[in-house]
Structure 1
Amino acid sequence: MNIVRASLAAVLIAALTACGVVDGTTKTGDDSANPVGITRLAPEDRVPGPEIAGADLEGQPVSTAQWHGQVAVINVWGSWCPPCRAETPVLNRLANELEGDVPFLGVAVRESATTSLAFARKQDVPYPSISDSSGSLLARFAEPLPAAAVPTTYVLDRQGRVAVRVLDRVTYPTLKGLIEDVSAEAAP
């Protein structure tokens, strides 16, 4: 099993060497109006998102397990990625607006924790990030919806299931709307 995970991590890291979106439109269920790069899963098609736990870039413990019952956002990023840098103000704005209601977590890939921390501090990122230079955390998203580009943003529903994946730089109205859509779903 470790060989399979290591192989999957290597494939994901190789796929993530290019910054940007995978070309194409992803549609699921009866949502035929999905824009390119956005995958929405109907509640009955969702599987649990991976639990991500560890020390954040500041050395503080963080775990997605503490989000049970909340809609949450996970953003895969790297300071080396121009679309990631461009979307940082959008993520910061939404994280500040939704503080206490919708937790955010960054997963920094393909760079050292020191480099990621310097970027997060310079940009005043208000939410924690975990360094994933090995790709092992990212590999955990292979079953629900793999991150096939950097940046990738996930919106998790209240049950911790991946409800939405955005492959590309997010915009304020798009991400806010996606979060609102998932938040409006009936509670379990």
Structure 2
Amino acid sequence: MPLATTCSARLRRVARRSIVASLVVTAVATLNACSSATSTDATEGGYVSGDGSITVVAPSEREEAPVLEGTDLDGAPLSTAQFEGDVLVVNIWGSWCPPCRKETPDLIAMADEFSGQGVQFVGIAIREGRTASKAFASNFGMNYPSFSDSGGEMLIGFSSSLPAVAVPTTYVIDAQGRVAVRYMDQVDPDTLRELVIDVQEGR
């Protein structure tokens, strides 16, 4: 084989490997980014798109939510099974995430508002150590428990229903343990309140 042809083939192989590596890095960066969702979910299979970052699932189309088990910010055991029968509002957050810092006071106020009404707020602190998460929760006066999930493994459990691909993401899980809402953005308290009430009332 002529030298020029051999060199050309090698250069093409190197170029292909570079492109693949670049795509992998881009994909990982996208999943790890602290950002709001910008894509619009298609309306199909019972999924109704909201403003491009909110997905509401009709009751007949809902998938089972994962039972989350682990430890809280103090290292004590925590499981969503202990809130069986409640509507769960599960917020994925990190102290490193600016939108999370902005929405936390609203989530705390809503947790107070819905206290005693069969609604339980739970956080999942990801991609950071327990110490940083605990300091954040203490500074804000967080009034609901959070899992410490430094590796983000708990998010895998939502892959069969509505995957979390942005931080912050907030889920509303109905009293039957099914994923009803995925809110991939900094929450607007009025919007989230309406969504929670709808799920409470079986819609």
**Equivalent position of 2:89 in the other structure:** 73
Moved more, 41-50 or 149-158: 41-50
Q: 2:201 aligns with which of 165, 184, 187?
A: 184
* Structure 2 residue 123 is the aligned partner of structure 1 residue 127: no
Give the length in aligned residue pairs.
176
Cα distance in 1, alignment partners of residues 192 and 163 from structure 2: 19
What TM-score does the superposition give when structure 2 sets the normalisation length? 0.80
Question: Once the 2 structures are TM-superposed, how far is the Cα of residue 54 of structure 1 from its aligned partner?
Answer: 2.0
How far off is 1:31 after superposition? 7.2
For structure 2, the residue ranges without an aligned partner over 5 or more in a row are 1-25
Query: Percent of counterpart pairs with the same letter?
Result: 49
- Aligned equivalent of 1:90, options 106, 109, 125: 106
Give the CA deviation at 1:140.
1.1
d(CA) in 2 for partners of 1:150 and 1:75?
9
Q: Within 5 A, what are the aligned runs for 1:44-123? A: 44-100=60-116, 101-123=118-140
Compare relative contact order (CA 8 Å, sep 6+) and give the higher one, 1 or 2. 1
Gaps of 5+ in 1: 1-10
RMSD of aligned residue pairs (Cα, Å): 2.0
Contact 2:68–2:79 (Cα < 8 Å) also in 1: yes
Alpha-carbon displacement from aligned partner over 1:83-133 (angstroms, at most 9, x marks no partner): 000000110000111123211110011111110000000000000111111
1:26 offset after TM fit, Å? 2.2
Higher mean C-alpha displacement, 20-29 vs 80-89: 20-29
Q: Which has the larger radius of gyration?
A: 2
SS in 2 for 1:40: strand
TM-score by length of 1: 0.86
What do residues 18-54 of structure 1 show as CA deviations (whole Å, max 9, x unaligned)? 1112212225457766212000111111111011112
